[in-house]
Structure 1
Amino acid sequence: MKCLSRFCACLAIFSFLPLSPALAQQPIPEAAQQHFQAGVALIQKADVPDDLRNALTEFEAAAGLAPQWPEIHYNLAQLAAETDKPAKAINEFGIYLNLAPEAADRAKVQEEIVRLQCLIAIKRKIGLPGVTFAAMPDGIWVMQVYPGSRVGNTGLRKGAKIIAVEGTSVAGATLEDFFRAIDATTAESDPLKAATKGRMFTRSGGYARYNKTASSDNKVEETGPIVTLKIKSPGLDRSGTLFFKKSMFHSNVIEIEADEFDTEVTNEKLPVLVTFWADWCEPCHEFVPIVETQSAEHAGKIKFININADENKKLAGQLGVKGLPTMMIFKNGQLMSTHTGRLPKEKIEQVISSAVGMGG
């Protein structure tokens, strides 16, 4: 199956939805409709994560051309929710409700906003900074993996499809179902999992089986139960199994969207280290393990935030990001310093220490 079943069901009836009275006298620009249809086409044929990302871009373009069009914001929210952008989905649902205050589905949308707020909390509890997913009918797509992260050091790659967690299929599951399944893992309950104890991860079912250690700059010890993910890698028909120590998902670094910047950065009392990154950024592979280690050492003294520059281009532009990685230190909502490009480990640690000192 190649489309988001829950989402496409909504799209299928879109053309039959009545326009709000305010829009009855305001025809939707043809260009906006074209962007919307282009997004629908991308969703219907989606067979790689970038198709959904590009569909989101088309919907955003449509919303930009027709900002008073309630239904485009509704559909943009639906797609954002299914592609692990809950903060954006909440914002777009809010716009929809403001534009259509008498909407028949108002209560349902409000319930969805509450669910998305819970989804953010669940994912933050697990960790997974820089790892994003999309809920598809045949499994959970991996949309993005933070370069250099502990999870990124395993066989989990962008484009992989997770088809089961702990032996239970996630076909047709929501992202909330998927995150709860990971969070519920509490014991090493079978011989195969027990045999992996002490390993960072192993791969089986047609994959090479081997041990791998974390980067020498990332000294975070992996502990706790083992999580089993059954996956299909891009271009391979066979499935494989990945075993992770549950702690590999955890991090003191928080990944945020642009819609969360004010809440998580501007209004934060602690000093905040914001890092802009992208998966193509080679220096990020060296940078990330150092920051993860530092975040564990300075937990509670400074807040560590990551932002994907490609996914949040408008915010990156507003903050004057010129290259990657870019580290920014904020205190009481004010930008205190900016550091761009490849930096030696000692410099990164110095910048972080200076931020810790701002906490008084």
Structure 2
Amino acid sequence: MSQQHSSPPATVTVFASPASWIESDAVAQCHQVAALDGMTHVAAMPDLHPGKGAPIGAAMASTVLYPFLVGSDIGCGIAVFPVKLKRAVPEKLAARFPDLDRALDPERDADDPAWAVLKGDVPAGHVEGLGTVGRGNHFVELARIGTILDAGHASRLGLDAGDLVLVVHSGSRGLGERILRAHTEVHGAGPAPDPAAYLAAHDDAVRWGSLNRRLLAARVAHALGFEPAEPIVDQCHNLVELRDGSYLHRKGAAPGDGRDVLIAGTRGTPSYLVAAHAGPDAGHSVAHGAGRKMSRSDALRRGRAKHTVEELRRTPVGSLVVCGDRQLLFEEAPTAYKRIEQVIADLVDHALATPIATTIPLVTYKTPENRGKRGRR
């Protein structure tokens, strides 16, 4: 890029070890972002991978607000909810998951008990897609707490080994996309001409994403027979915040300034609940997941040569995957992602996070099994 700088170019720091799989294309994207006017620092996480125009797994500080650095899924994040169930038999529970492709309609579904989590109005009045999980790497997962790695912190969160939790990864569905499109149709990848107006819409999308994760959890709770609870963790990893006079853009990077974060593995590996304590060099951020090491097309091609659909429905940890979309099964196969253990090791080595506990998947929901059920209650 050939912008003129009145200040030195931004610094780029990659928080990964030589053992980590980091694509050169992703690092190149970090340097392209660093060359934008107003950029001061780009912090790349160990789950870094290339995105559409901007890297995923990065925190980017600038005196100028760039909506494209946050992307279209504003408000996407991961929440963890405690689950009280006497017995968790994956096969039985997988069959009882509700259809989370089917949106909750305020009129048609007015009596649905999941609405109890809604306090006040729906942000931006955006009722489209409420209570749906979305596609791509979004999921709802029933998991059990595996290894406790920091007993004191786990105890403060009310967690013991063997406890059940519900992990919800979803965003603002069409709302964030609408906000980004309104900007790019006029300004492309340029800065927001009115940062306050963008931030007002952005904040609605962040609130919407958090509400939607609660709605998804409540729908699953009522279907599986336990009481919905408040999340013990709910961190958004696609957002921008004003910090120290700068705009801190996070794209696939979770806030890491004294917060608890669930860093997602894959449906066939543990995820890690960590206490994050990242400073300014790391953009006050930590990784948000294992990070892709294969494009979707590569994962599809290689997966079809290596696995059957049935093999992908039962994971290496013995969990079940509910996914009626065969292509998505291959695209989201555990082998398409980096090793979560390496991502966590890099965060620990760089003093960005302390692991609290692992979560082991039991049932991972992506899309309904039987598409024929979609139109029914």
Higher relative contact order, structure no. (Cα contacts within 8 Å, ≥ 6 residues apart) = 2
Query: Do the two structures share a fold, i.e. TM-score over 0.5?
Result: no
Higher Cα Rg, which structure: 1
TM-score category, normalised to shorter length: under 0.3
Could you state the TM-score of these two structures normalised by the residue count of structure 2? 0.24
